[in-house]
């Protein structure tokens, strides 16, 4: 039997891994990971990736093999390995960023010239971007009709694949991964343990303990109601197909559909990224190219206050401190801090996207960029720009007892529920009663919410008028 090389990428698991499954069924397997990405991961996501690689290596060792770890260009390494080890088939699961697509196309051509078969598979999505189209044959630009169309064709979601029954590994002298590639980050509160087994434990726990309350609890940042599966999906410790089938087998009703629609948002984000490759850099709506963002020299200090969680708005500060200390942020709070940055501070969404990319465990090339464009108003969305999240109202509605704020903003830990959402409104009281001095112990609000909201809406009206003329 001929040697088959499986190239692991963002699919760091053995089950429901089409590339690995097919390679193992065709011959002795050479499992390879090549550390080469167009955009380097941030510290926390690098940590997650490396821990996932180590877990994958351990799982392969239990089967009698191991994971080869290389650094450099895949276009150099893969043909070289193919020639050296008489590899007749190369297998990988597809990526959807333009640089990766173009590289894979070049690699397939060079392998064809060597007489080596290259096979690519869908190992990351329920529906690949080119398979979901409007009646006019175009791609969907709004989430709701996109997801509705997906649900009409859910029969296309095939069964999730088991791990191969028996795996034969090819002999080689290539260097396998070691603990030396581990990365340490300053975060003190990890959101979970990376790897395939941990992903399944997280999913099973979510369905058993949290899913029933998901439809309402998902918006409450102090509650443990979300799945916390985003990082596992990001690096392929688990697949969306596995999640889809498991949840359908174990649950039903409103909560199930609401949760799966969040998996659908990830699908939609990849749909956008595939069809609009510059999603991470360029405004999806061209009219926003004329939006009067503040100049970098003018907003540097404000950006720093936002990054450090020192805006004077407790919910915003709690979210940013959660991000800085844990590498994670609750989704409701991501929207609040994103709105504050782009609408109230008038700072370009690219600054927020870059900061999230650097700090999040689950920083995803599609979801991170699509979500930032959505909250900025420049993205693919049926709702217009005037969606502005008021952090005080959001705090009172979704963190009414201030539990989330107290978890991350230690200066306000002892303050009463009625005051914690907007401490400046009772400034003399909290100084006298709680010994908290605004401007010293905790920042005063850096901007006026109404004035900055009006400024943002006025700016939007100007570009809207220009676009309409």
| Residue length of the chain | 469
Q: Which two tokens stand for residue 220?
A: 């409450």
Pair 293, 415 in one domain: yes
pTM above 0.85, yes or no: yes
Pair 313, 447 in one domain: yes
Q: Name the nearest CA neighbour of 309 among 331, 332, 336.
A: 336
Assign residue 42 the CATH number of its domain.
3.40.50.620
User: Which of the listed residues 231, 253, 275 is the one where a domain comes to its end?
Assistant: 275
Pair 445, 296 in one domain: yes
Q: Which pairing describes strands 117-121 and 68-71: parallel, antiparallel, or unpaired?
A: unpaired
- What are the 10-residue block averages of pLDDT along the chain, 469 residues in total? 93 98 96 93 92 96 96 96 96 97 97 96 97 95 95 94 94 86 65 92 97 94 95 98 97 94 98 97 94 96 98 98 95 97 98 97 96 94 78 98 97 93 93 93 97 95 78
Pair 212, 252 in one domain: yes
User: Which of the listed residues 275, 309, 342 is the one where a domain comes to its end?
Assistant: 275
Which domain covers residue 74, as residue numbers?
3-123
Q: What is the pLDDT of residue 20?
A: 98
Pair 431, 414 in one domain: yes
Pair 38, 106 in one domain: yes
What is the rounded distance in angstroms from the CA atom of residue 204 to the CA atom of residue 196? 13
Structural domain contains residue 153? yes
Strand, helix or coil at 228? coil
What is the rounded distance in angstroms from the CA atom of residue 311 to the CA atom of residue 332? 18
Pair 358, 436 in one domain: yes
Structural domain contains residue 176? no
Long-range pairs, 401-406, Cβ under 8 A, ≥24? 401/222, 402/314, 403/222, 404/221, 404/222, 404/315, 404/318, 404/330, 404/333, 405/314, 405/315, 405/318
Pair 258, 316 in one domain: no
Pair 106, 75 in one domain: yes
Q: Which two tokens stand for residue 202?
A: 């997280």
Assign residue 298 the CATH number of its domain.
1.10.579.10
Q: Which two tokens stand for residue 203?
A: 């999913």
Q: Are 368 and 331 in contact (CB under 8 A)?
A: no
Structural domain contains residue 347? yes
Pair 10, 63 in one domain: yes
Pair 70, 119 in one domain: yes
How many folded domains does the chain comprise? 3
| C-alpha distances in Å from residue 326, one per residue of 191, 195, 228 | 7, 18, 13
Q: Residue 448: CB partners within 8 Å, gap ≥ 6?
A: none
Q: What is the pLDDT of residue 192?
A: 79
Q: Are 375 and 265 in contact (CB under 8 A)?
A: no
User: Which of the listed residues 98, 123, 148 is the one where a domain comes to its end?
Assistant: 123
Q: Name the nearest CA neighbour of 7 among 169, 118, 158.
A: 118
Pair 108, 134 in one domain: no
What is the rounded distance in angstroms from the CA atom of residue 409 to the CA atom of residue 310? 10
SS (H, E, C) 185-221: CCCCCCCCCCCHHHHHHHHHHHHHHHHHHHHHHCCCC
């Amino acid at each position: 039997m001929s040697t088959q090389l499986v190239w692991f990428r963002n699919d760091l698991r053995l089950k429901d891994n089409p590339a690995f499954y097919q390679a193992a069924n065709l011959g002795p397997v050479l499992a390879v990971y090549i550390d080469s990405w167009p955009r380097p991961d941030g510290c926390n996501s690098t940590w997650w990736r490396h821990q996932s690689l180590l877990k994958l290596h351990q799982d392969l060792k239990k089967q009698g093999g191991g994971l080869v770890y290389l650094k450099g260009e895949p276009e150099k390494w893969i043909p070289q390995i193919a020639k050296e080890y008489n590899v007749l088939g190369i297998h990988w699961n597809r990526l959807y960023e333009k640089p990766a697509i173009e590289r894979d196309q070049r690699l397939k051509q060079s392998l064809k010239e060597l007489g080596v078969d290259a096979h690519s598979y869908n190992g990351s999505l329920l529906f690949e971007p080119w398979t979901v189209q409007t009646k006019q044959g175009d791609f969907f630009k709004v989430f709701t009709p996109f997801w509705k169309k997906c649900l009409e064709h859910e029969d296309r979601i095939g069964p999730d694949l088991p791990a191969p029954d028996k795996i034969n590994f090819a002999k080689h002298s290539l260097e396998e991964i070691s603990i030396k590639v581990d990365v340490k980050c300053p975060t003190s509160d990890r959101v979970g343990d990376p790897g395939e087994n941990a992903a399944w434990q997280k999913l099973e726990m979510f369905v058993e303990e949290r899913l029933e309350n998901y439809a309402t609890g998902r918006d409450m940042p102090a509650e443990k109601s979300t799945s916390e599966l985003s990082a596992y999906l990001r690096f392929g410790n688990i697949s969306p197909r596995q999640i889809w089938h498991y949840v359908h087998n174990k649950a039903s009703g409103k909560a199930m559909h609401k949760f799966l629609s969040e998996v659908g948002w990830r699908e939609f984000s990849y749909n956008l990224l595939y069809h609009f490759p510059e999603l991470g850099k360029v405004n999806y709506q061209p009219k926003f190219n004329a939006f009067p963002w503040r100049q970098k020299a003018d907003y540097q200090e404000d950006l720093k206050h936002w990054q450090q969680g020192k805006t004077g708005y407790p919910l915003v500060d709690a979210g940013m401190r959660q991000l800085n200390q844990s590498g994670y942020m609750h989704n409701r709070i991501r929207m609040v801090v994103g709105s504050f940055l782009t609408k109230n501070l008038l700072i370009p969404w690219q600054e927020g996207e870059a900061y999230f990319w650097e700090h999040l465990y689950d920083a995803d090339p599609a979801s991170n960029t699509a979500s930032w464009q959505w909250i900025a108003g420049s993205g693919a969305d049926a709702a217009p720009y005037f969606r502005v999240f008021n952090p005080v109202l959001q705090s009172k509605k979704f963190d009414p007892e201030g539990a989330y704020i107290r978890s991350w903003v230690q200066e306000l830990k002892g303050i009463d529920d009625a005051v914690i959402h907007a401490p400046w409104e009772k400034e003399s009281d909290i100084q006298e009663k709680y010994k908290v001095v605004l401007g010293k112990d905790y920042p005063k609000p850096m901007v006026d919410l109404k004035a900055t909201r009006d400024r943002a809406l006025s700016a939007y009206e100007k570009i809207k008028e220009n676009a309409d003329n």
